[in-house]
Amino acid sequence: MSVQLVHPERVHRVDVHHQVADTRGSRTVYLAGQVSWDVDGNLVGRDDLAAQTEQAFLNVAAALDAVGATLADLAKVTIYVVGLDASQAEQLVAGRDRAAAALGVELQQPSTWIGVTALAAPGYLVEVDAVAVLS
């Protein structure tokens, strides 16, 4: 495996992700930010952050699959959330976990969550940006 997830002993441990991804691969894959659209470009989960997060992560998985990668190859995830607050953080985790369950994986890669005022199109509540490393 080219990505090893680590909880450093001298850094606060959180339950929703690891603080470090130690990569040993030779190929890096950069994904465009993925939102909650279906293959026809329709918004999935209007006004439902958990549903939009789930679809965005399913789109990340599909994008990785297109280049022979999987969610296990993710080294870093950045998540942009419109109006991020504590209640939205819970919805974000719920949607991420539903996507992980649907795909039969665990999503614990290092991540940064950033609150924003808007995304590129009306109705979108979340965008997931990711980097993967492969052997």
Q: What is the pLDDT of residue 25?
A: 74
Would you say residue 20 has pLDDT above 80? no
Q: What is the pLDDT of residue 135?
A: 85
The contacts of residue 20 (CB under 8 Å, 6+ apart) are: 5, 6, 7, 8, 110
Would you say residue 18 has pLDDT above 70? no
Annotated domain spans of the chain: 3-134
Alpha-carbon dihedral of residues 36, 42, 48, 51, nearest 10 degrees? -50
Q: pLDDT, tens digit, for every residue of 43-99?
A: 999 999 999 999 999 999 999 999 999 998 999 999 999 999 988 999 999 999 999
Q: What is the pLDDT of residue 117?
A: 97
Q: What is the pLDDT of residue 1?
A: 57
Q: pLDDT, tens digit, for every residue of 91-128?
A: 999 999 999 999 999 898 999 999 999 999 999 999 99
DSSP code string of 49-95: HHHHHHHHHHHHHHHHHTTT--GGGEEEEEEEEET--HHHHHHHHHH
Query: Superfamily assignment of 3-134 in CATH?
Result: RutC-like (3.30.1330.40)
Tokens of 101: 């369950």
